[in-house]
């Protein structure tokens, strides 16, 4: 189903950063800032046919993590004591980051900012988002590993969804798989870097092959209600 991230009225060059993370995007149709993660496509929706799936996913992710809270409510990803250069990779995907204040590895997605929080004013929103995302997908286990880190998955063989995201071809099963959901007993550890594993995961997570307009679902719902009323009247 179409969202604002694939609408031609959304101006991708005009984005408003949150004070902590993420972005809003400007809608030229209504002259307002849009959160494409929360806001549904309106009746003025027109598909931006020249906008790639990758760009649509990036817009969606930017808005998903939009946070305009004051620095007092910010997370470790925006704290100056978190070292963005010192990171510990998970064996499957993602990273932890070193807190230089207490000398421990921090998951900036799960761990809340402590009472020592001090905002890193020179850290851009883009870098804060990257730290957040890397921590979100941190996985140091080798049990039930996902297809995104499997050697049999071909990262170049993609099947794009009609509304966004993509599936990837598995050379073991000989079919396309959702790397964010699927795993099997044939798993073989791959040696791709974590950035690529995360990208594969996100592309599969956002896979959507349903481009049916919202109006069609509303019409079907209305039709079912009418049929139900008729049946109630004549067959009660």
Residue with tokens 């804060």: 128
- Confidence check: pLDDT of 115 > 80: no
Any idea what DSSP says for residue 12?
Answer: E
R_g of the chain, CA atoms, integer Å: 21
Residue with tokens 């990257």: 130
Q: What is the pLDDT of residue 139?
A: 80
- Among 24, 25, 22, 21, smallest CA distance to 9 is for 25
Positions of E strands within 59-106: 82-89, 95-99, 104-106
Distances (CA, A) of 27 to 23, 137, 138, 149, 163: 13, 31, 34, 37, 19
Question: What's the rounded mean pLDDT across residues 110-122?
Answer: 80
Q: What is the pLDDT of residues 133-160, one digit of tens each?
A: 888 888 876 544 678 888 999 999 999 9
Whether pTM exceeds 0.75: no
Q: What is the pLDDT of residue 143?
A: 44
């Amino acid at each position: 189903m179409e969202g604002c991230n694939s609408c031609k009225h959304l101006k991708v060059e005009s984005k408003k950063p949150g004070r902590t993370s993420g972005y809003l995007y400007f809608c030229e149709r209504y002259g307002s800032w849009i959160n494409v993660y929360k806001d549904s496509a309106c009746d003025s929706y027109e598909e931006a046919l020249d906008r790639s799936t990758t760009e649509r996913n990036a817009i969606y992710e930017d808005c998903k993590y939009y946070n305009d809270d004051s620095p007092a409510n910010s997370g470790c990803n925006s704290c100056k004591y978190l070292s963005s250069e010192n990171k510990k990779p998970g064996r499957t995907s993602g990273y932890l980051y070193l807190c230089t204040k207490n000398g421990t590895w921090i998951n900036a997605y799960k761990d809340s900012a402590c009472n020592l929080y001090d905002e890193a004013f020179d850290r851009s929103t883009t870098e804060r988002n990257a730290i957040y995302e890397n921590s979100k997908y941190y996985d140091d286990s080798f049990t039930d590993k996902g297809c995104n880190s499997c050697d049999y998955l071909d990262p170049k063989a993609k099947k794009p969804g009609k509304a966004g995201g993509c599936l990837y071809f598995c050379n073991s099963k000989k079919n396309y798989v959702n790397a964010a959901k699927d795993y099997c007993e044939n798993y073989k550890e791959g040696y791709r870097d974590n950035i690529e594993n995360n990208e594969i995961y996100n592309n599969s997570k956002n896979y959507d092959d349903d481009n049916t307009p919202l109006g069609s679902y509303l019409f079907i719902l209305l039709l079912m209600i009418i049929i139900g009323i008729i049946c109630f009247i004549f067959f009660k």
